Structure 1
Amino acid sequence: MNNKKIALGLVGLGVAAYLGSVYIVNKDDRNLAARQIAQYSHLDPQSLNFQAMKIMADKGCGYCHTSDSEMPFYSEWPIAKNLMDADIQVGLRHFDINKLYRNLQNQEPVSEVALARIEKVLYDDSMPPKIYQSMHWAAGISKDEKHTLLKWIRESRAERHQDSPVTAERKQRALQPIYTTFEVDAGKAELGKVLYHDTRLSGDDTVSCASCHSLDTGGVDNLVGSVGIDGQVGGINAPTVFNSVYNKLQFWDGRAHDLQAQAGGPPFNPIEMGSHDWAQVIEKLSDDDEIVAMFEYAYQGEMTGDTITHAIAEFEKTLTTPNSRFDQYLMGDKQALNEIEQHGLDLFKQYSCHTCHAGEAMGGETFETMGIKADYFADRSAPITAEDMGRFNVTGQASDKHKFKVPTLRNVELTAPYFHDGQAETLEQAIYDMGKYQVGVEMSDSEVKAIKSFLKTLTGEYKGETLSIKADNVQQANDV
């Protein structure tokens, strides 16, 4: 009898300790959320942006999905610190919410990827994790809160895509057709086209932008590493130039903030184009009367590094590829995709591919860790290189190691080999590897085939013609 009383007493003490801890934790959560919400006092409290932010603050999303959030009082306790540090590392690998908070605070459009990620976890009820809710009782998302967040997501998309030629309901979805027309100066773009194909931007007049990003081969060179000056081979795969205007940042590691900044990099890379400086390039271009006349027309004769890169960027803004079969499907033609292609689209969404590959370009918005569900680099036979460090090389933040810009999936059937290191030789291999390393599933051959069939419907048109790899370019790639 005494043992039973002791046991009941211990259980009672345990319950009391648990409930007391929950009370203290939730009180601290409310205080931290209130301080975070106060930073958004300039927003209309009736707006969906404010309401969405308040829900995320109340639920403590920032604890695990930011690197600089104010943390609860117990975060420095020995055991709690280790657990929370591990949770933060996992959280940041899956979704860094900092940019979303900045967007809301600055009243800017929220990332397509952020909206897709939040929508997914709302539908599958995977966030906040149940173990987190066991201590943070207020963290669970109510039906009304879910409704508010979904309404915010849909209206955010509809506002962003108000000019899209799709139905009102389609404008609220994660995947959109290419429809944006970018403002371009025709004279500068024409000059940029000439410069893009001009080998005089390289030190020995052998390499142009088009050497690695040919418009006849999907905007790439179909090589693992591009061949530069003196036959040197670079350490990273060339991304496509088509639809690069949609990228939030340029290069795999995002070191260039726009197309113009990107255009100024390769000419002075000793492996790629190997010029010494702009003076060397300008001296050669100045001997060409036609080029001089084009600069006179476009830039009042000003030939500088700034005008050269600006012209190339203007040209690259024209390299969008609309009117793919998938675009036609999104715009209402349900016959544009056959049965297996539609099944591939369903699998694409089932495996959450659209939570990285969202928007018009279906990529280019965020940087993601290569190997979230399995260690890609441990399985790869090649040793780790400086290029493999990805976004870390730019930010120096440990959480950015092995993070790379999510590539556009537009015209993806033409841009093999795949990934930053070019290690996936075929589209089938790329799909299989994405399943294993990013989703955590081993796709069947039939699933890979279906997704590949869908991805091939993303090939669009340039100048009114469907993109393809020209036969002579295929032979050149095979000969290298």
Structure 2
Amino acid sequence: MRNRLVIVIILACIAGMAFPVANLFIPLPASRLASIKTDNPLLADALDILEKKCVHCHTSEVQLPWYGKFPIAGRLIEHDILVGMKHADYIRDFFPEAPGPISEVALSKLEYVIEQGSMPPPPYLLMHWNHFLTTSDRDTLLRWVYSERITHHATPGNPPEVMRRGIQPLPESTNEDPAKVALGDKLFHDVRLSKDNTISCASCHDLAKGGTDQLQFSVGVGGAVGDINAPTVFNSGFQFMQFWDGRAADLEEQADGPVNNPIEMASNWDEVTEKLREDEAFTESFLEVYPDGYTMENFVDAIAAFERTLITPSPFDDFLKGDVSALDTQQQEGYRLFNDFGCATCHTGVVLGGKSFELMGLRADYFGARGNIIEADYGRFNVTENEYDRYRLKTPTLRNIALTFPYLHDGTAETLDKAVEVMMTYQVGKKITLEQTEALVAFLESLTGDLP
């Protein structure tokens, strides 16, 4: 009996070893990354590593390996891909809808897992012994990350050691036409853009309140109440899309939305034009900037020009540029924790956010715990109708976050402490100490800038 048991154990061990041994000789199915042709040797080397050792758990074009036909193995692979896709999809990253460089968020996520040594994960490596990231692999990927940032994303005029980081200082100015900016400022604060002359852009994006209205949901014409928290207008020109679900590609398209929205301004540009034509002085000033007169394109162009000037440099920018004294000890500790916990993977770039759509409830079921799910919670899905995008919302900027309460898209976190708690629970999956929470909040408060 004992001999039979020994034989069974030996056979089980041999069978278990067969899969990883076979994987040393049988390559995984190629993904679309392998089809990318480039003259950039650094990118070519990075793609080779990502294709061979990373992409197979981060792809929307799943091709199961040969052993995926076995029931248990197949289920494990599907689980790994499901988890991996919550974090990143390299096919989407390298083949985006709008052609352009790989995103800042994708670069920051890759940098983080390399520095943490958390990818590929141990269960995957048990089956793929030759897929460990070597020191050379890590160095190559990080050099490529730094090169991409400096070339495509960094704020110009800073030293290389600053430009290669994920989080960047705000530029000190913009190059907008002053005449358009001044006109856009007037339009932004003009209640005549609303049906009953009670609501302006500034009603929901008050420059004295951090560019928001500090309400859970904004109030429009006739007391109509929205169903999603108003984002700040400050630094909005640096975000890759507008609205929580990204339904506007830029500030011009965004500026067109509220005027026509029945629960916001409940008007249209024809009505607005009729009102403004009665104001001879305003019409004269408008024609000086736009000789072709009142058109939707001219309205939104002026408003967007004004909004792009609403940048708010803070002490944190001085810190990023090398002035260590710009942040106190607690704020610096908070920034260290912010990076260590991986917050900077999504809250990256010049505005610490606004560069991607992320799954709300990455580590735990946020909406299941909160309940009462509504259409606004679906986020990007409402635009694409792609199931992958359900519950994915644009990562908000953290600039001036101390002023833009309440927090989250649903406005349910009334304080920064509560917002940190929610993020740690549902996005990071950690329980932190009171001291750590206070340090993180102190860091976030350092992002309050000089308001225009």
Structure 2 length-normalised TM: 0.93
Q: What does the per-residue CA deviation read over 1:125-184, in whole Å, with 9 as the maximum and x for residues that have no partner?
A: 111111111222222111111111111112222333565443321222222110164432
Q: What does the per-residue CA deviation read over 1:62-87, in whole Å, with 9 as the maximum and x for residues that have no partner?
A: 32222224443454654444333332
Q: Distance in 2 between matches of 1:430 and 1:3?
A: 59
- After superposition, the Cα gap between the structure-2 partners of 1:377 and 1:399, relative to the gap in structure 1 and judged at 3 Å, is same
- Is residue 129 of structure 1 aligned with residue 121 of structure 2? yes
Matches within 5 A, 1:160-309: 160=152, 163-179=155-171, 181-275=173-267, 277-309=268-300
Q: Report the AA paired with residue 100 of structure 1.
A: D
Any conservation in 2 of the 1:293–1:301 contact (CA below 8 Å)?
Answer: no
How far residue 368 of structure 1 moved from its aligned partner, in angstroms, is 1.1
2:405 is matched with which residue? 416
How far residue 12 of structure 1 moved from its aligned partner, in angstroms, is 4.8
1:22 is matched with which residue? 20
Matches within 5 A, 1:101-180: 101-102=94-95, 108-160=100-152, 163-179=155-171
- After superposition, the Cα gap between the structure-2 partners of 1:193 and 1:28, relative to the gap in structure 1 and judged at 3 Å, is farther
Query: Residue 246 of structure 2 aligns to a residue in which SS?
Result: coil
Structure 1 length-normalised TM: 0.88
Q: Distance in 2 between matches of 1:311 and 1:22?
A: 61
How far residue 100 of structure 1 moved from its aligned partner, in angstroms, is 2.6
Q: Distance in 2 between matches of 1:432 and 1:343?
A: 17
- Is residue 49 of structure 1 aligned with residue 47 of structure 2? no
How far residue 441 of structure 1 moved from its aligned partner, in angstroms, is 1.5
Q: Distance in 2 between matches of 1:162 and 1:415?
A: 26
Query: Residue 208 of structure 2 aligns to a residue in which SS?
Result: coil
How far residue 17 of structure 1 moved from its aligned partner, in angstroms, is 3.4
Q: Distance in 2 between matches of 1:27 and 1:285?
A: 74
- After superposition, the Cα gap between the structure-2 partners of 1:76 and 1:16, relative to the gap in structure 1 and judged at 3 Å, is closer
How far residue 252 of structure 1 moved from its aligned partner, in angstroms, is 0.6
- Is residue 58 of structure 1 aligned with residue 52 of structure 2? yes
2:89 is matched with which residue? 96
Any conservation in 2 of the 1:206–1:229 contact (CA below 8 Å)?
Answer: yes
Q: Distance in 2 between matches of 1:261 and 1:268?
A: 12
Which range is displaced more, 310-319 or 418-427? 310-319
Structure 1: gaps of 5 or more residues? 464-480
- Is residue 82 of structure 1 aligned with residue 83 of structure 2? no
- After superposition, the Cα gap between the structure-2 partners of 1:181 and 1:92, relative to the gap in structure 1 and judged at 3 Å, is farther
- Is residue 362 of structure 1 aligned with residue 343 of structure 2? no
Q: Distance in 2 between matches of 1:217 and 1:118?
A: 35
Q: Distance in 2 between matches of 1:190 and 1:246?
A: 20
How far residue 302 of structure 1 moved from its aligned partner, in angstroms, is 2.9
1:396 is matched with which residue? 385
Any conservation in 1 of the 2:155–2:169 contact (CA below 8 Å)?
Answer: no
Which range is displaced more, 175-184 or 308-317? 175-184
Q: Distance in 1 between matches of 2:157 and 2:200?
A: 37
1:345 is matched with which residue? 335
- After superposition, the Cα gap between the structure-2 partners of 1:70 and 1:183, relative to the gap in structure 1 and judged at 3 Å, is farther
- After superposition, the Cα gap between the structure-2 partners of 1:12 and 1:332, relative to the gap in structure 1 and judged at 3 Å, is same
Any conservation in 2 of the 1:104–1:110 contact (CA below 8 Å)?
Answer: no
Q: Report the AA paired with residue 400 of structure 2.
A: N
How far residue 26 of structure 1 moved from its aligned partner, in angstroms, is 5.0
How far residue 19 of structure 1 moved from its aligned partner, in angstroms, is 4.3
Any conservation in 2 of the 1:49–1:104 contact (CA below 8 Å)?
Answer: no
Q: Report the AA paired with residue 39 of structure 1.
A: S
Any conservation in 2 of the 1:40–1:105 contact (CA below 8 Å)?
Answer: no
1:471 is matched with which residue? none
Any conservation in 2 of the 1:243–1:321 contact (CA below 8 Å)?
Answer: yes
Any conservation in 1 of the 2:33–2:94 contact (CA below 8 Å)?
Answer: no
Equivalent of residue 316 in structure 2, options 315, 326, 331: 326
- Is residue 68 of structure 1 aligned with residue 68 of structure 2? no
1:40 is matched with which residue? 36
Query: Residue 417 of structure 1 aligns to a residue in which SS?
Result: coil
Query: Residue 187 of structure 1 aligns to a residue in which SS?
Result: helix
Report % sequence identity: 43
- Is residue 384 of structure 1 aligned with residue 382 of structure 2? no
Any conservation in 2 of the 1:192–1:313 contact (CA below 8 Å)?
Answer: yes
Which range is displaced more, 248-257 or 65-74? 65-74
How far residue 243 of structure 1 moved from its aligned partner, in angstroms, is 0.6
Q: Distance in 2 between matches of 1:37 and 1:359?
A: 25
Q: What does the per-residue CA deviation read over 1:414-459, in whole Å, with 9 as the maximum and x for residues that have no partner?
A: 1000000000001111111111111111222211111111111111
Query: Residue 133 of structure 1 aligns to a residue in which SS?
Result: helix
CA RMSD of aligned residues (A): 2.3
Any conservation in 1 of the 2:381–2:389 contact (CA below 8 Å)?
Answer: yes
Q: Distance in 1 between matches of 2:428 and 2:346?
A: 11
- After superposition, the Cα gap between the structure-2 partners of 1:168 and 1:209, relative to the gap in structure 1 and judged at 3 Å, is same
